[in-house]
């Protein structure tokens, strides 16, 4: 996690950043917005023994800058390197949110509660970050489970509403995906505590898609084993893949794991399978089509209405991979993302790309829809939706060749057959697309 504070001392441009880096060995870096008098980029770099010590030092260094005549600005993007022309002071409620975040990472529960209480009645209490920290505190303090769940649900819903309305929210230097992952992780815990493990599983599976980490993958595996024994194989998958990081001992001791492990090593468990998932509803598909302004091909519509937001799980003896299929609600956003990537969000470059895709592949770039992407790889399966000869064709795409399309298939079903057949045949291009590289 990277948390940055920015400081300006008028008049002039002697602007500074204090960057707190948490995880591993915590560190504070003091950065000049322009080179210092000695030509250096940094005025401070210190490593600390733990987060508590680092956060205390971070506060002291910020106070030193204020004492020297600087004020903290409203900037939050930790990679920023220029605060001019008119830096504005950070509002007190945002400073209070920063203190609450640091308290959640380093202070006793009673002190966290004081920060939460202080911010009530300010704009902070309506922010997704505040609502998540309230839920996080409720879980840690074993507070009223229903109240904790309400905080977590409000955090999720507020973040989604702000995104939909393209309205800003304050989350310090925390990326949106990181905040969403933390919210969903707490939401999962809260659902389980009120006796709704199905909703808890759905929340943690979403967290693993949005911002996977070891703790969330383990949390999902535990929920599967405790509440959904019919899906124990999914938890065994995780234990087989990630047990070297610890925490899977109880899962590996369950009846059935030893047989799973032996079969996996022998290649007897099957090379691929579909992950259990909830099918999309007809109204969700229709809404996605309205957002896209296009009709989805029949085979892909059937897939959504049968499998929904699922994953194609690849399980070889020494390798694992997942091809993640998007839910209908995300399709329009995914289309915009790939257009922005191909064009670098530049209108002139976009027009050149449109011409290139038309001349080289006979397709419309604006009608290429990402429908799936391999986990931990910047690639995707594209579905072409322009009415005409190539309507419904599928292609594989890689960010390293952003203006290239590979492995054309005349339909979505044909693309799936090519993928599963390639896995079974150990086809290197297919496995490479899925981020598996055999020796």
What are the tens digits of pLDDT across the range 77-129? 998 888 888 899 999 999 999 999 999 999 999 999 999 999 999 999 999 99
Give pLDDT tens digits for 282-325.
999 999 999 999 999 999 999 999 999 999 999 999 899 999 99
Q: Please, which residues have CB within 8 angstroms of residue 262's CB and are 6 or more apart in sequence?
A: none
Q: Residue 433's closest CA among 395, 403, 383?
A: 395
Give pLDDT tens digits for 424-438.
999 999 999 999 998
Give pLDDT tens digits for 341-397.
999 888 899 999 999 999 999 999 999 999 999 998 889 999 999 999 999 999 999
Q: CA–CA separation, 348 vs 356, rounded Å?
A: 13
Fold of 93-269: 1.25.40
Query: Quick one: 188 exposed, middle or buried, by C-beta within 10 A (0-12, 13-18, 19+)?
Result: buried
**pLDDT tier at 5, thresholds 50, 70, 90:** very high
Phi, psi (rounded to 5 degrees) for 160: -65, -40
Give pLDDT tens digits for 132-145.
999 999 999 999 99
Whether pTM > 0.95 for this model: the answer is no
**Which tokens belong to 392?**
């419904």
Delimit the domains of the chain by residue range. 2-87, 93-269, 282-433
Fold of 2-87: q64v53_bacfr protein fold (2.20.140)
**Which tokens belong to 71?**
């004020």
Residue 67 and residue 57 in contact, taking contact as beta carbons nearer than 8 Å = no
**Which tokens belong to 331?**
């399709």
| pLDDT over 60 (residue 36) | no
Phi, psi (rounded to 5 degrees) for 78: -65, -15
Residue 181 and residue 174 in contact, taking contact as beta carbons nearer than 8 Å = no
Q: What Cα–Cα distance (Å) separates residue 171 from each residue in 28, 129, 130, 223? A: 20, 6, 9, 29
Q: pLDDT at position 80, please?
A: 87
DSSP-based helix, strand, coil % in the chain, nearest 5: 55, 15, 30
What percentage of the chain reaches a pLDDT higher than 70? 99
Strands 42-47 and 71-72: unpaired
Class of the CATH domain delimited by 282-433: alpha beta
Q: pLDDT at position 257, please?
A: 95
Q: pLDDT at position 315, please?
A: 93
Residue 337 and residue 361 in contact, taking contact as beta carbons nearer than 8 Å = no
């Amino acid at each position: 996690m990277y948390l940055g504070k920015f400081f300006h001392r008028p008049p002039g441009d002697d602007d500074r950043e204090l960057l707190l880096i948490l995880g591993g060995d915590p560190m504070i870096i003091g950065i000049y917005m322009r080179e210092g008098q000695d030509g250096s980029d940094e005025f401070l770099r210190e490593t600390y023994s733990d987060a508590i010590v680092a956060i205390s030092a971070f506060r002291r260094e910020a106070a030193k800058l204020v004492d020297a005549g600087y004020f903290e600005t409203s900037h939050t993007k930790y990679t920023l390197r220029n605060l001019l022309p008119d830096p504005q002071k950070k509002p007190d409620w945002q400073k209070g949110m920063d203190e609450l975040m640091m308290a959640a990472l380093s202070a006793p529960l009673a002190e966290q509660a004081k920060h939460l209480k202080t911010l009530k009645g300010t704009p902070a209490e309506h922010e997704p970050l505040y609502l998540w920290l309230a839920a996080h505190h409720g879980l840690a303090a074993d507070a009223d489970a229903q109240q904790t769940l309400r905080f977590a649900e409000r955090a999720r819903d507020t973040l989604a509403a702000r995104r939909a309305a393209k309205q800003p929210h304050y989350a310090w230097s925390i990326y949106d995906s990181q905040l969403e992952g933390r919210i969903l992780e707490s939401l999962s815990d809260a659902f389980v505590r009120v006796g709704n493990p199905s909703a808890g599983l759905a929340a943690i599976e979403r967290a693993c898609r949005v911002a996977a980490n070891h703790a969330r993958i383990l949390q999902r595996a535990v929920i599967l084993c405790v509440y959904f024994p019919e899906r124990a194989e999914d938890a065994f998958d995780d234990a087989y893949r990630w047990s070297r990081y610890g925490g899977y001992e109880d899962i590996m001791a369950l009846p059935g794991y030893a047989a799973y492990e032996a079969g996996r090593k022998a290649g007897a468990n099957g090379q691929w399978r579909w992950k259990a998932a909830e099918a999309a509803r007809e109204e969700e598909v229709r809404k996605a089509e309205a957002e896209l302004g296009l009709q989805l091909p029949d085979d892909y519509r059937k897939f959504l209405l049968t499998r929904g937001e699922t994953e194609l799980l690849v399980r070889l003896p020494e390798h694992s991979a997942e091809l993640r299929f998007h839910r209908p609600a995300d399709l329009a956003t995914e289309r915009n993302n790939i257009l922005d990537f191909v064009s670098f969000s530049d209108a002139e470059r976009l027009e050149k790309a449109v011409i290139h895709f038309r001349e080289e592949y006979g397709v419309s770039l604006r009608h290429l829809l990402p429908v799936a992407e391999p986990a931990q790889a910047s690639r995707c399966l594209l579905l072409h939706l322009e009415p005409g000869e190539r309507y419904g064709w599928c292609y594989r795409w890689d960010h390293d060749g952003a203006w290239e399309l590979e492995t054309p298939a005349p339909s979505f079903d044909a693309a799936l057959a090519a993928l599963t057949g390639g896995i079974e045949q150990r086809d290197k291009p297919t496995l490479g697309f899925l981020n598996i590289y055999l020796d």
